[in-house]
Amino acid sequence: MSKVELITQNLGQHLLKQMESASTICILTSFVMKSGVEFIKQELKAAAKRGADVKICTGDYLYITQPEALRELLVIDPNIEIRLWRTDGVSFHPKAYLFQTEKKEQLFIGSSNLSRSALSGGVEWNLSVSNDKDVFNEAMDQFMTLFYADQTVPLNIEIINQYLSDYESYHRTNPDLIRSLSDREEVDLMLALGHEDNSVSNEVHESSIEYGEILPRFAQIEALGELDRVMEEEYSKALVVMATGLGKTYLAGFFAKKFKRTLFIAHREEILHQARNSFEKIMPEKTFGIYNGKQKEADADVIFASIYTLSLKTHIERFASDHFDLIIVDEFHHAAANSYQRVLDYFTPEFLLGITATPDRNDNKDVYAICDGNVAFRLDFLEAIERQWLSPFKYYGVYDDTDYSQIRWLGNRYDEEELLRAQLREELASKILSTWLDKRQTRTIGFCSSIKQADFLSHHFNRNGFNTISLHSQQVGVSRGTAIKQLEKGQLDVIFTVDLFNEGVDIPPVDTLLFVRPTESLTVFTQQIGRGLRIYPGKKYCTVIDLIGNYRNADIKLSLFDTGVKESNYNFVEPTVPELCEINLDVQVINLIKEMRRKRHPRREKLLNDYQVLKKEIGRRPTYLELHLKGGSPSVHYRQEFHSYTGFLKWAEELTAHELEIYHRFHEWLEDAEKTSMTKSYKMVVLSAMLKRGPSNWYKPITPNEVAPFFHDYLMEKEYRKQIDFSDKSSKKLWEFDEEKVSKLIASMPMTKWTGKFASFENGEFFFNLDIRQEDEGILFNWTKEICEFRLHAHFERKAK
């Protein structure tokens, strides 16, 4: 029977007692003080050491959290996961402490933040709820959703340094913090700025189109064929990129028929239920279960699990590490990467499949990295339109006179309050309405920056005689499912929303998309475009009305529509689009884009920004391979612009004085190692064998006989390596190891062919002509090793045809 208890003093002692035995500890607090960390850190350290799952989430609201408190938290134990909620000025007031053992769950919620006074001597009221699984599960589910929300970032030294800078700046300009707190509460009440949380309704919407018998169709057939080949080549991981509307979930279901037990992981509840419905139609003979905060159906052939629930130790360990033969990872927010990695590090499936609808890597880099960069199949929305599998579009780029250069940029988005002040203008709303009236068709989704903007535009349209709704997490009275049905029936002209329809919801009749927000993420923009490309009876094309001002990415977003220019080319203005599609740009938009190109180098700026984002995520300078797998920009662009990754680091001022000196001495070698031709992998395999000798000896003479065992083992270890680089007429004879013959091959290729300025092959020995000082050996060794690991990985990655 549940027990509820009021605690008015010494909450900290209750928390410390729970920490002694809890297997799961989750702390959610609006701010953290150093005194609070000191109060609990020994117990947290002991809990983490015995294997407890510890998660802590705090916020930067009004910069009350002390930077030194964050530093103290970070060093308690590396297994404690800490995330910082970026409030961007919106109030953040939660105080909750959750504890779970094998036999008991207990939740504390009330007024106590993580400070010594709040936990021991202060006047605080808190409720303790125990022995109530439903309440605890709901609280845990809400905690995990918030913990991995887009607004949170994993705490590391890079994030702390950035927070410290912002903290000091804020307190210099707000010396009277007590009054600031009071005034700010009034601002919050007046503005009520909102964030989408995608929780309007859990109603699952299914298209009314009948497809007949569920069999693989169109792109699914090609993708399944490529996945079969991937498995034959002994890759154990792969990614499939398929545009929205081509049935990637059904594809996953068809592929899953080959396996006995399957785990399907996603970050949203709707996706889990939709995927289950799809799989049931394909495999009615199998059993299916949902595993999330409310349901724990673990005994089924196919389990659809929320990453927020499954990543908790208490839940993941309900399954043996080899329980699943296939794991499918659906699109997910990059903020949840650590939780996904924990799950995938634990399980040992026969195969791992990542599926995504977005061709741009910027926000799907985690799926790309999880699958080791192996892309089995790729079909973006442009090619799908050319094949007549998706609807064509008519795009109208409409000039927006808002001066975004005056709005503060926060690293990955605009300051919401400043953006709001620029957007909530009657003059702008009237222009949006008249443009929409001129170009619209029948059913419209309007994508906005914020709830306030969505409400503002909906009211403006309604006052002018149209039937619209602002649909978001704070909307009451109309559920998402009801609004969708009203739009489909023509009872609504427009649904204004923020990010509610980016993924997971299909409304085929939609034939007009209205963008009244700056494009901050090219991936999100692509997802939103996909909302209007579903084929539907009577629908000839989708109208895209896009307000374009001088915001970031305005001059490169049109590359998403181009079939003739590669991503690396930013010189064009109007792209080449598929047949039946149109691009129509205001003259002012064309002039704006040309002017933006003259003022800056967009490619280098994007490379630097993507590097900095990754550095903050992992808390240190990424290796070359990490940049390749997890970076927002393709690694080849760094080499094209800067000749080497180290050359980019020099340009970005990321090298220490000692590293800079070494770079100037050896940059030609580093560039040569990056660009030396590799029809086969042999050069890098030899280099890898040499690097195994360590920092002081890697570049010194080595014989083909010394390399032969490693060389042979490496190429024969995986079927794809053997088939790619070791299966021509001559090398195929060497599948059975023969040291003399393998050595002869190595001597002729690559050792003889790699000779030149930096490499020599003399008297039967291969070596590098590098004069390395002892104090430089470690750094140059590490740089060379990074290049070698990157080039081998990139060479053997499976590229989609």
Question: Regarding the domain delimited by 219-386, which CATH topology (the fold level of the hierarchy) does it fall under?
Answer: Rossmann fold (3.40.50)
The larger pLDDT score, comparing residue 367 to residue 211, is at 367
d(CA 472, CA 196): 6
* Contact (Cβ atoms closer than 8 angstroms) between residue 150 and residue 22: no
pTM: 0.79
The pair of structure tokens assigned to 653 is: 């001022």
d(CA 414, CA 433): 24
Per-residue pLDDT band for 332 (boundaries 50, 70, 90) equals low
How, if at all, do strands 152-154 and 237-242 pair?
Answer: unpaired
d(CA 297, CA 277): 15
CA-based nearest residue to 681, from 647, 720, 642, 646: 720
Question: According to the model, what pLDDT value does residue 446 have?
Answer: 96
3-state secondary structure of 298: coil
CA end-to-end distance (rounded Å), the chain: 60
d(CA 241, CA 257): 20
Question: According to the model, what pLDDT value does residue 211 have?
Answer: 38
Residues contacting 84, CB < 8 A, separation 6+: 57, 58, 59, 60, 70, 152, 153, 155, 159, 163
Question: According to the model, what pLDDT value does residue 632 have?
Answer: 84
Give me the residue label for tokens 């605080």: 124
3-state secondary structure of 64: coil
3-state secondary structure of 563: coil
Helices and strands: H and E segment counts in the chain? 31, 24
Same fold, 219-386 and 393-600: yes
3-state secondary structure of 459: helix
Q: Output the CA angle 19-20-24, nearest 5 degrees.
A: 45
Average pLDDT over residues 666-675: 96
Scored b (16 or more CB within 10 A) or e, 681-720 reads: bbbbbbbbbbbeeebeebbebbebebbbeebbebbeeeeb
Q: With 90 as the cut, is the pLDDT of residue 663 above it? A: yes
10 Å Cβ neighbour count for 301?
Answer: 16
d(CA 217, CA 209): 15
Scored b (16 or more CB within 10 A) or e, 477-508 reads: ebebeebbbbbbeeebbbbbbbbbbbbbbbbb
Average pLDDT over residues 676-697: 96
Angle, in degrees to the nearest 10, between helices 602-618 and 635-642? 130
What dihedral angle (degrees, nearest 10) is formed by the CA atoms of 616, 617, 621, 623?
Answer: -160
Instruction: Tell me, rounded to whole angstroms, the distance of Cα 739 from its chain centroid.
Output: 46
Q: What is the CATH number of domain 3-191?
A: 3.30.870.10
CA-based nearest residue to 46, from 26, 22, 29: 22
In one-letter notation, the amino acid at residue 70 is L
Q: What is the CATH number of domain 393-600?
A: 3.40.50.300
Q: Report domain extents, the chain.
A: 3-191, 219-386, 393-600, 605-796
Instruction: State the DSSP H helix or E strand holding residue 304, giving kind and residue range, or none if neither.
Output: strand 302-306
Q: With 50 as the cut, is the pLDDT of residue 619 above it? A: yes
Question: According to the model, what pLDDT value does residue 412 have?
Answer: 65
Question: According to the model, what pLDDT value does residue 575 have?
Answer: 84
Per-residue pLDDT band for 181 (boundaries 50, 70, 90) equals very low
